[in-house]
Amino acid sequence: MRPTEVKINNAPEDWISCVRFGPKTNQYLIASSWDGTVRFYDVVNNTMRHKFMQDDPVLDVTFMDVVHVVSGSLDKNLRLYDVNTHTENVVGDHDAPIRCVEYAESVNGILTGSWDKTVKLWDMREKHCVGTYEQCNGKVYSMSVNEEKIVVATSDRTVLIWDLRKMEEYMMKRESSLKYQTRCIRLFPNKEGYVMSSIEGRVAVEYLDPDPEIQKLKFAFKCHRNKQGTTEHIYPVNAISFHNVYSTFATGGSDGYVNIWDGFNKKRLCQFHEYDTSISSLNFNYDGSTLAIACSYMDELEVPPANVQSPAIYVRYVTDQETKQK
């Protein structure tokens, strides 16, 4: 019998910025890190198949297909890696670090979001930028793509909704309903809304349709907090990942916990055990059977703890009981 959870060998040596499963698989996983690496894992055999290295921290990474991976870095460059031939190419750059990279399947392109306050669309066959889109003067902190829809969360607490079919102008601009800095934003699997989280232990569930009846459905809730005596400790909610089949979602916080939520019925379905340190990234695979959990200290404290735990990646084989709406 396979274990519920497996710790992956050869984890990055610094803050893990992203973990993602390959398309249509729970076998292949990539991870990017502040140690300057992009690591490609075979989860089933618990081996690291390849490690790409650079001098600067890698802030995000995603698959284009099962052998091509792209990353965005602090050095402002977009890189394309081939995991079969172990080659890499710099495709292009931004004027500031690239915080987010997403594969846009509907146009077979890559979207990058940067601290230079723009999103760029890249044609990966021709290896050049085909569009640059201003994000209303906000640095891009998080971005999510689902078919033609894009949501971008920026440093000034703005959310911009774009449609890849007509990128001349954004579809909608909204102020975040969370008072504090955004950490993560993810579109619903059905594209009708998004979930976003902040540094202040809160998550908001929002709907795109401006109809007042639909807008009544939106809500925000507190999470990743704990009380010790009379003191409440509030932690950033760093990561969100949707279960593509059940439309439930996981959140990970700097409290070291992963929770699974049913956003439609406004309840928590489960909480996993406490991990050694902050949850920095989460990713369900395509069918929701497997959840990748990245744990790494994210320099949250003014005075670092005496013994900082080493970064770790866990792969958890989740059950319907944990992830399905009750």
**Among residues 46, 47, 20, which one has the least CA distance to residue 33?**
20
pLDDT score at 6: 96
**Among residues 84, 124, 118, which one has the least CA distance to residue 99?**
118
Phi/psi at 213 (nearest 5 deg)?
Answer: -65, -40
Relative to beta strand 249-253, strand 258-262 is antiparallel
AA identity, residue 222: K
Within 10 angstroms of residue 148's Cβ, the number of other Cβ atoms is 15
Q: Can you list the residues of the chain whose pLDDT is less than 50?
A: none
pLDDT score at 1: 73
**3-class DSSP state for residue 41?**
strand
pLDDT score at 326: 86
Calpha distance 280→257 (Å, rounded) = 11
Q: What is the pTM of this model?
A: 0.97
pLDDT per position as a tens digit, 154-172: 999 999 999 999 999 999 9
Which domains can be identified in the chain, with CATH numbers?
Answer: 5-299+311-322 (2.130.10.10)
Strands laid side by side in the 58-65 sheet:
58-65, 68-73, 77-82, 87-93
